[in-house]
């Protein structure tokens, strides 16, 4: 039996590039004549390094205008909840501060990811990945960014590389947009919170009907929670020639890199966007009740759904998000120079004229953290979950490594450190502190990473009030009910605003050798938070993570 005639289409055929670019430099690039009358673009390593350093700077401090417009639209939407609007306003304020170029928008300045497509008439010295990595190194060592990469010295021992290297660099031999004399790039900085919300599910043909698909997505999307700092740019990929290709496609789609895919399929088996399903999934997330972190409609800004070809025995489904630190930019090197996507350097134009009081109809409870812990807990006990708070006074800061060390002390029969008995604990790790500032960008860490310690610590009299981002496990809720504890949710995303406006003093209490993982004491003023888990066994997220879908896709 003969097969079908040969036909070819790229797996991900994107359309024309509509990006607005700015010139970074025209140095380090030249055009030379080659055999057969062909002309070649030569690119010096220094040009790759300069472009990368500039790109990593920009995506740490600036956002795309379209993303900022979406935040503003939440504030202007009468259907948005007060908490939705408050989070959106805080994120816009944060963007305005980060655009000053001193404090990065998020304290987790991410893993540097660079994908490039080099045309066949582009000549380099062959060390492109090294030149790009040097640009990453320049940005992270010269700017107020955080080093997050750990080198494995043995299977069990790790050490911070002190430079945020290695970067993830992937380069392809492919004429970008059909141009043989062009070199095009996607730069991303992916923080741990959003990276940890990439999921792969190995499904079957049974998923490929409208009702089952929507039921599946409701169940899985609710599990993403808020620890990756919504509102999200959500991507769902159905199918894939391999599991890893499905996941990579989801990452690209969440960065809007695949927005110009076709919107219908064909027998050449290329990928396409399903615009109808995108709208239905977005409306599904609007009804979750999770909202922009603390209740409402804006769990997602938008949704991308990409359908890929698949092996008949496999049906991978990949889900990925880009968070409130929506950090990516495209770039290109052409005969005319080195060009980088123009991001928004004046986000203040998206801030509303109205005051915060006009945006917010909810009561804000002022909490004095200088009071004894029993009095702080008694005050919190008066209010229901989702109550918005303003925290003022001292906080202890500790996260993974410090928690592990304190747990070892408890296991050895030592007592709970007094600082965890007397103060609320903030799960966070700061970026570098700029000269003249009390703190570097200092946003919250994903709370769930500390869940395993809570019952042990609370039984020993510590961690009675915890502050971080995202949902907690049922184990934490039970412990808070048993021991009279509370978990407060901090807005995920506005790390620069917290550093500039809310954190007034920072000092190391213990484990200074751990760097940003040390135990810190900070003084805060008007630090925003919400009651998420109370001392009565109530958990805001427990209700909004339950599937309630009763209808299928129309």
Q: Say which CATH number the domain at 290 has.
A: 3.30.1330
State the Cα–Cα distance between residues 366 and 527, nearest whole angstrom.
10
Predicted confidence (pLDDT) at residue 470 exceeds the cutoff of 90: no
pTM comes to 0.85
Question: What number is the average pLDDT over the span 159-182?
Answer: 96
| Structural domain includes residue 270 | yes
480 and 331 together in one domain: no
Highest mean pLDDT among 82-96, 125-139, 353-367: 125-139
| Structural domain includes residue 72 | yes
Give 429-462 pLDDT, tens digit per residue: 888 999 889 999 988 888 889 999 999 999 999 9
Cα angle, residue 392 at apex, residues 390 and 396 outer, rounded to 5°: 115
Give 260-300 pLDDT, tens digit per residue: 999 999 999 999 999 999 999 999 999 999 999 888 999 99
Residue pair 24/104 in contact (Cβ under 8 Å)? The answer is no
271 and 332 together in one domain: no
For residue 542, the surrounding DSSP H or E stretch is helix 540-544
Assign 341 a pLDDT band (cuts: 50, 70, 90): very high
317 and 345 together in one domain: no
State the Cα–Cα distance between residues 471 and 467, nearest whole angstrom.
11
Residue pair 493/68 in contact (Cβ under 8 Å)? The answer is no
- Give the model's pLDDT for residue 543: 66
- CA 179, 26, 327, 138 dihedral sign is positive
Tokens (6 digits) for 49: 């390094």
CA atoms within 13 A on the CB side of 406: 29
342 and 467 together in one domain: no
Question: What number is the average pLDDT over the span 155-179?
Answer: 95
B/e letters for 310-332, b = 16+ CB within 10 Å, e = fewer, are: beeebbbbbbbbbbbbbbbbbbb
| Structural domain includes residue 512 | yes
- Give the model's pLDDT for residue 227: 86
Residue pair 149/137 in contact (Cβ under 8 Å)? The answer is no
303 and 423 together in one domain: no
Predicted confidence (pLDDT) at residue 546 exceeds the cutoff of 70: no
431 and 511 together in one domain: yes
111 and 30 together in one domain: yes
Range of the domain at 529: 363-533
Give 233-271 pLDDT, tens digit per residue: 999 999 999 999 999 999 999 999 999 999 999 999 999
| Structural domain includes residue 2 | no
Predicted confidence (pLDDT) at residue 548 exceeds the cutoff of 60: no
State the Cα–Cα distance between residues 231 and 87, nearest whole angstrom.
9
76 and 113 together in one domain: yes
Cβ contacts of 289 within 8 Å, gap of 6 or more = 295, 296, 543, 544
446 and 523 together in one domain: yes
Predicted confidence (pLDDT) at residue 493 exceeds the cutoff of 80: no
| Structural domain includes residue 547 | no
| Structural domain includes residue 546 | no
- CA 31, 34, 38, 41 dihedral sign is negative
Q: How many C-beta atoms surround the C-beta of residue 17 within 10 A?
A: 14
Distances (CA, A) of 535 to 230, 379, 387, 458, 465: 26, 11, 14, 12, 10
Predicted confidence (pLDDT) at residue 141 exceeds the cutoff of 70: yes
278 and 316 together in one domain: yes
The residue among 213 and 447 whose pLDDT is bigger is: 213
| Structural domain includes residue 541 | no
Domain end marker among 355, 375, 396:
355
- Give the model's pLDDT for residue 386: 87
Predicted confidence (pLDDT) at residue 553 exceeds the cutoff of 50: no
Cis peptide before 502 (omega within 30 of 0): no
Q: How many domains does the chain have?
A: 3
Distances (CA, A) of 131 to 46, 109, 273, 338: 7, 20, 35, 15
State the Cα–Cα distance between residues 70 and 344, nearest whole angstrom.
13
350 and 204 together in one domain: no
Question: What number is the average pLDDT over the span 208-219?
Answer: 97
- Residue 524 sits in a domain of what CATH number? 3.20.130.10
115 and 236 together in one domain: no
Assign 550 a pLDDT band (cuts: 50, 70, 90): very low
- Give the model's pLDDT for residue 355: 52
| Structural domain includes residue 392 | yes
Residue pair 495/540 in contact (Cβ under 8 Å)? The answer is no
Distance of CA 234 to the CA centre of its chain: 11
Give 18-68 pLDDT, tens digit per residue: 999 999 999 999 999 988 889 999 999 999 999 999 999 999 999 999 999
pLDDT > 70: percent of the chain: 96
């Amino acid at each position: 039996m003969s097969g079908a005639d040969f036909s070819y289409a790229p797996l991900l055929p994107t359309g024309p590039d509509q990006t607005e670019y700015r010139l970074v430099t025209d140095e380090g690039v030249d055009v030379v004549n080659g055999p057969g009358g062909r002309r070649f673009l030569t690119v010096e390593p220094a040009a790759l390094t300069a472009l990368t350093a500039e790109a990593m700077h920009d995506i740490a401090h600036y956002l795309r205008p379209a993303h900022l417009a979406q935040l503003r639209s939440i504030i202007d939407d009468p259907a948005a909840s007060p908490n939705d609007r408050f989070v959106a306003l805080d994120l816009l304020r944060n963007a305005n501060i980060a655009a000053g170029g001193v404090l990065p928008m998020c304290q987790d300045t991410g893993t540097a990811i660079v994908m490039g497509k080099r045309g066949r008439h582009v000549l380099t010295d062959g060390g492109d990945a090294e030149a790009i990595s040097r640009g990453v190194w320049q940005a992270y060592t010269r700017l107020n960014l955080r080093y997050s990469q750990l080198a494995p010295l043995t299977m069990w021992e790790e050490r911070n590389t002190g430079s945020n290297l290695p970067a993830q660099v992937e380069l392809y031999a492919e004429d970008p947009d059909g141009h043989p004399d062009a070199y095009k790039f996607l730069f991303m900085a992916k923080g741990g919170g959003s990276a940890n919300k990439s999921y792969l599910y190995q499904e079957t043909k049974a998923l490929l009907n409208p009702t089952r698909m929507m039921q599946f997505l409701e169940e899985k999307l609710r599990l993403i929670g808020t620890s990756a700092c919504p509102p999200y740019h959500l991507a769902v990929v159905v199918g894939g020639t391999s599991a890893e290709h499905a996941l990579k496609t989801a990452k690209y789609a969440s960065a809007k890199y695949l927005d110009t895919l076709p919107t219908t399929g064909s027998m050449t088996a290329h990928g396409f966007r399903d615009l109808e399903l995108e709208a239905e999934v977005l409306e599904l997330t609007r009804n979750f009740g999770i909202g922009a972190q603390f209740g409402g409609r804006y769990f997602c800004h938008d949704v991308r759904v990409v359908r890929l070809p698949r092996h008949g025995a496999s049906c991978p489904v990949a889900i990925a998000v880009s968070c409130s630190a929506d950090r990516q930019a495209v770039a290109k090197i052409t005969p005319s120079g080195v060009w980088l996507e123009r991001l928004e350097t004046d986000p203040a134009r998206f801030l509303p004229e109205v005051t915060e009081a006009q945006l917010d109809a909810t009561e804000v409870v002022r909490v004095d953290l200088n009071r004894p812990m029993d009095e702080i807990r008694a005050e919190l006990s008066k209010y229901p979950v989702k109550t918005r708070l303003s925290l003022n006074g001292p906080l202890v800061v500790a996260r993974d490594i410090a928690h592990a060390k304190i747990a070892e002390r408890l296991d050895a029969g030592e007592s709970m450190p007094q600082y965890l008995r007397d103060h609320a604990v903030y799960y966070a790790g700061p970026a570098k502190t700029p000269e003249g500032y009390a703190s570097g960008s200092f946003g919250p860490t994903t709370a769930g990473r500390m869940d395993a310690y809570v019952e042990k610590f609370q039984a020993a009299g510590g961690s009675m009030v915890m502050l971080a981002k995202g949902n907690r496990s049922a184990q934490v809720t039970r412990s808070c009910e048993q021991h009279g504890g509370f978990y407060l949710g901090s807005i995920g995303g506005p790390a620069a605003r917290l550093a500039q406006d809310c954190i007034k003093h920072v000092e190391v209490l213990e484990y200074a050798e751990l760097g940003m993982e040390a135990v810190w004491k900070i003084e805060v003023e008007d630090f925003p938070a919400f009651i998420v888990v109370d001392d009565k066994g109530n958990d805001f997220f427990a209700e909004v993570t339950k599937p309630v879908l009763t209808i299928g896709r129309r």
